[in-house]
Structure 1
Amino acid sequence: MKRILPLLIILFFIFLLNGYVLSGIHTLSYSPYVTPIFWLAIVLITAAVIYGTQRLRQHGLDLFFKIASHMAITLVVSELIMVMMLFLGDAYGLITGTPRNVRWVEASFMLMLFTIFLFVYGMIFGKYNYKVIEHTLYFEDLPESFDEFKLVQISDIHAGSFNNPKAVQRGIDLINRQHADLFVFTGDLVNNKAEEIKPWISYFSQIRAPYGQFSILGNHDYGDYIKWGTEAEKTANLNQLKAYHKDLGFRLLLDEHVHIKKDDQHIVLAGVENWGIGFGERGDLKRALSNTTDREFKILLSHDPTHWEAQVKSYIPNVQLTLSGHTHGMQFGLEAFGIKWSPVKYRYKHWAGLKTENNSVININRGFGFIGFSGRIGIWPEITVIKLKKIR
C-alpha cells in the first residue's frame, strides 16, 4: 500500500491537471474526437513513463525511458502554464460574473504550444548551442608578464549525455578558436561512470593551450549516485577516471597547485577535489594552497560555488580568482532584455557569471554539457574566455 499510494496521488494529480486543460480545449473546439484522442495520448505517455521506470532496474537509463520521461516533462510543464493562465481568466470571470473569455483561452492554449516548441528546440538544438562569454578582469597584483593573459574555462561536460558527435566537435573547434594561453576544466567529466568519457577522448584531447590544460573533479565524478557491487569497484572507477584525464591531456589537480611561469614571473594555479554544501566536502583548500603567499597571484579551480561562499572568499592568503561550475543554470531560464533568471536561483543566490567580494572574484560557468533534462532552454552551454589585465 505504501508503494501504491504515491502512484495513486500522482495519477489523481495528472487527472485533475489534464481535465482542466481539456476544459479549455473544449472551449475552443466541440469536436467529438477531441476527448478520446486527448485522453488516449495522456494514458499512453503515462503508461510509457511507468513502464520505463520499471525498466530502470534492469536496463538503467535507456533510450526508452529518456524519450518517455522527456515527453512527460514537456507535457506537464506546458500544461501547468496553460492551467495557470486559465485559472487567472476563470478567477476574473468568477469575480466579475462574466463567462469564460474565448480569446484568453486561445492565448493560454497558444502559450502551451509555444512552451512545447521551446522544449523541443532545447532538446534538439539548445543543448549544443554553444556560446562564448568573454570577461576582462583587472587586478592590481597581477604579475606584469601576465597582462593580457587569456584563459578558457569549460565545466560540466557530462560525457555520458552526449549523442551528437558533430555538435560536440563544433564545440571543441570553438574552444580552440579562442587561442587561449591556458585551458581549465572545472569538474563533472561524466555522469557516473568513467567509461562514459572513453568515446569522447579523441574529441576533447584536441584541446591545447601553450601553458597547459588543467582539470579538477566534480561531484558526479566520484560515482556516488549509482550502486556498485563493491567499494573496490567504485574506487577502481575513480582511478580509471583519473587516468582518462591524463589521456585527454589534462593535468588533474587534486588538492594541489602548480606554478604557471611566464618570462621570470609566475602565477599559482590550484585545484581542489569537490567541496560543495550537500554534495560532499572532500576538498582541502589549506592543502591545495600550502606554501603560497599573499604576494602570489592565485587562481583556484573549485567545482561547486558554495565552496567560494563558505571558505574561499575569506581565505588568507587571498585567492584572487576562483573558477567554478556545477549549477548548469539549471539548463532552463531567461537571460535577455536585462533579465537574468533561472529556478536554480532558489538554491544558489549567485548561479552564473561573475561575482566579487573581499577582493576575491568568482566565475561560475553554465556548463558545456547537460544531465537529467536532455536539453537547454535559455541557458546555453558556455565556453568562458577570461582575459587578465594588470591595473597600473
Structure 2
Amino acid sequence: MTKPVPFTLHVADADIADLKARLARTRFPDSAPGEALSDPWAYGTDVAYLRSLVEYWRDGFDWRAEEAALNVFPQFRVPIDGIDLHYLRVEGKGENPMPLLLLHGWPGSVFEFLEIIPRLTDPARFGGDSSDAFTVIAPSLPGYGLSFKPGQKRYGVPEMADCVAALMHDVLGFSRFAAQGGDWGAGVTSRLGYAHAEKMIGIHVNFMMAAGRDPNAIQNPTEEEKRYLGELAHWTREGTGYQWIQGTRPQTLSFALTDSPAGLAAWIVEKFRAWSDCGGDVESAISRDQMLADISLYWFTGAIGSSFWPYYARLHGSAAILPPGETITVPTGYAQFPREILRPPRSIAERVFKNIRRWSVMEKGGHFAALEQPELLAHEVRAFFRELH
C-alpha cells in the first residue's frame, strides 16, 4: 500500500469567483399556485427561501471560514483500489483510544462531523471520561467530495465497504476497529458488519438501512409493526422520487446540478428540511453556513453525479448490503432519532441484526444526527462502545 499523503483543502480563488458569478445569474422558476400559497414547500423547495439562500451564498457566506474549520483536522489522501481516498484522522486524547471509522451519507459529507469529532476524540473536554476517547477516521466516501475526480470508477455500498476496510486494516494497520454511520454510511457500516466481521469490534448506526424495507416479509404484524408499515408505505409513495431519478437516470440529472449551483442547492436543501427535526424551519436544526459548506463541497468537487451511484448500483446489479436471508452477528448499537426517515421497530431489525446490544430511542433529532445533535449522538456512541473495550 502507498503511504498516505497529508492534504489541505484549498479551493482556487477563481473557482469561488465563478460560483458567485453563476449565483448572480440564477434564473428562478415561478411558484406554483394553489396549495403552495399556504405551504410553499408543498411541491418541493420554496422559491422565496431559495432566493434568500442564494443571495446569502453569493454575498454573505464565507467559504474560507468553512474551509479553515475543516483544515483544523489532519487530512490525508491515499491511493486505494484505483482512486485517491480522502480521510480525516484525529487522534484520541485518552489511554488506548479505540479506532472508529465514521461514515457520512448522501447528501452529506465530512463537513457533517466538525462538531462531533472533538466529542469523540476528546470527551473529557465536554465533561466526559477520557477512557471513552476514540481515534476517529472519517473518510469522504468513494465518489464523494474529496474522494472524487472526473472519470474515476463508481462505487456501490459493498465496494465502498471493501475500500474503507482496506483503509483501516491494510493502510492504517488496525487489526480491529469500530464503525458508525448514518444514511449510506449506515449501509456501509452494516456491510462491514457482514463482510468484514472479523475486523469489527462492533458497529453503531443511526439509520436502519439494512432492515425492514420489504413489507411482504412482515406477516401478521404487531401494532408497532403496523405503524412502521404505514410509515414505509407513505415514504415509498411520497418520499422516494429522488431515489428513482438518481437510481435510473443519474447522468441526466448530473448535468443540471453540475451546471447550476442554485439547482444543486435546491436539490439538497429540500432534503435537509424534509429529513431533519426542524418543524418546517430548516435553519432551526441546521444552520445556513452548515448547509452551504456541504453544498459548496459538492459544487467545487463536481462530485454530485458520482454521489448518485449507490442509488443506481442498488437498482442495477450491485450486491445488496447483505444477501437475502443473511444476518449480521457483530455487536450492534442503534440510536433511533424521532424525525428519522424510517424507524423500524426492534422486532423487525432483529431479523437482520442478531446481536443488538444497545437500542436507544432519542428525544430529538432527525436524519442528520451528527449535524443536528452531535452531543446526543456522541454520548450514544461512547456508551455503546464502552462496553466493548
**Counting strand residues as a fraction of each chain, which structure ranks higher?**
1
Rg larger in 1 or in 2?
1
TM-score by length of 2: 0.31
TM-score by length of 1: 0.31
